[in-house]
Amino acid sequence: MRRRHLLAASLLAAAAGGARAAVPRRVVSLGGVVTEIVHALGADDRLVGVDQSSLYPPAARELPQVGYFRGFAVEGVLSLRPDLVLASDQAGPPEALAQLRAVGLPVVSIPSAPNVPALEQGIDAVATALALDAEGLSRARSLRQQLDDAARPVAHAGQPPRVLILSSHTGRLQAAGAGSAPHALLTLAGGVNAFTQPGYKAVSAEAVAAARPDVILTSTLSIEAAGDVRAFAAQPGIALTPAGRDGRIIVLDDLLLLGFGPRLPQALAQVRAGLFGAASH
């Protein structure tokens, strides 16, 4: 609670300072979650460019792109004449960020770790950098409260389902393990990850079958690559699992699954509904 009051105080101080300092009006966002935060705070109209991972809101796809946030084009950013760059702390390479700062362009690093405290810090960092007005600060406070509410554990009877988080849109099966955003999402939702290795790893059909997941969590792109949900469930390995046989496949929009962004309450509601039924909403 003390942390919340300190964050709110810092935002209010930033808002007061905004009257004295120039408010950024031309912003480039490097990172899909960063762009989502700008949108959630009602500041879309300030965006003049984004990176390729900025898939939401749909209007962001119509903006000029400066490459992928982990390897963006310095020239592309500068050509948009921004007065602020909001960059995921995974953005780079470092020398590219240094070049932006060397020409006097403010670059604000936004936390991206897949946990609620880091996401709240990211919201506060964006709100402060944008020097939001009272309405924007109210949005930030409301968003943090929604995140806190959604992240509270929900009690369910029986053993939590074993879940395999799979993607296959690259032509190979890949599982998400500890430390990944989908793993953090699944854990908050109340499921148990059947894949215990850290990060993302390619897995064989035999390994998928041996994991025997009750449920498979996957992305829209993976389903589209297979054709439809039925074809996805019929793939070698998946077809031999309880999840594949019973058709227990939870499908999330790719950025909802991979991003761990401000739409986290929506993502949690969808996963919980797939794991435990409609009563989880």
- Sketch the domain layout of the chain as residue ranges: 2-151, 162-280
> What pLDDT is stored for residue 154 in this prediction?
81
Of 31, 9, 19, nearest in space to 124 by CA: 9
Q: What confidence tier does 255 reach under pLDDT thresholds 50, 70, 90?
A: confident
Instruction: State the average pLDDT over residues 19-36.
Output: 87
191 sits in which H/E element: none
Lookup result for tokens 């500890």: 178
CA distances (Å), origin 195, targets 32, 109, 190, 214: 26, 31, 15, 12
Give the span between the Cα atoms of 18 and 259, in whole angstroms: 30
Q: Which residues contact 176 (CB under 8 A, 6 or more apart)?
A: 165, 166, 167, 182, 183, 193, 195, 199, 200
Q: What is the dihedral of CA 69, 71, 76, 82, to 10 degrees?
A: 40
pLDDT in tens, 38-87: 999 999 999 999 999 999 999 999 999 999 999 999 999 999 999 999 99
H-assigned helices in 177-219: 181-189, 205-211
Largest CA distance in the chain: 64
76 sits in which H/E element: helix 74-79
Q: Is the pLDDT of residue 243 over 90?
A: yes
Q: Which residues contact 23 (CB under 8 A, 6 or more apart)?
A: 130, 131
Q: What confidence tier does 9 reach under pLDDT thresholds 50, 70, 90?
A: very low
Q: What confidence tier does 18 reach under pLDDT thresholds 50, 70, 90?
A: very low
Residue 123 vs residue 255, higher pLDDT? 123
Instruction: State the average pLDDT over residues 247-269.
Output: 94
| Preceding amide of 106 cis, omega within 30 | no
Token pair in block for residue 268: 């949690």
CATH number for the domain whose boundaries are 162-280: 3.40.50.1980
Q: Under a CB-based contact definition with an 8 Å cutoff, are residues 42 and 135 in contact?
A: yes
Of 12, 8, 57, 11, nearest in space to 32 by CA: 57
> What pLDDT is stored for residue 138 in this prediction?
94
Q: What's the whole-number average pLDDT of the chain? A: 90
Q: What confidence tier does 7 reach under pLDDT thresholds 50, 70, 90?
A: very low
Fold of 2-151: Rossmann fold (3.40.50)
Q: Is the pLDDT of residue 17 over 60?
A: no
Q: Which residues contact 71 (CB under 8 A, 6 or more apart)?
A: 92, 93, 96
Of 130, 53, 123, 50, nearest in space to 84 by CA: 130
> What pLDDT is stored for residue 10 in this prediction?
44
> Are the folds of 2-151 and 162-280 the same?
yes
Residue 221, phi then psi, degrees to nearest 5: -65, -35
Q: Is the pLDDT of residue 16 over 60?
A: no
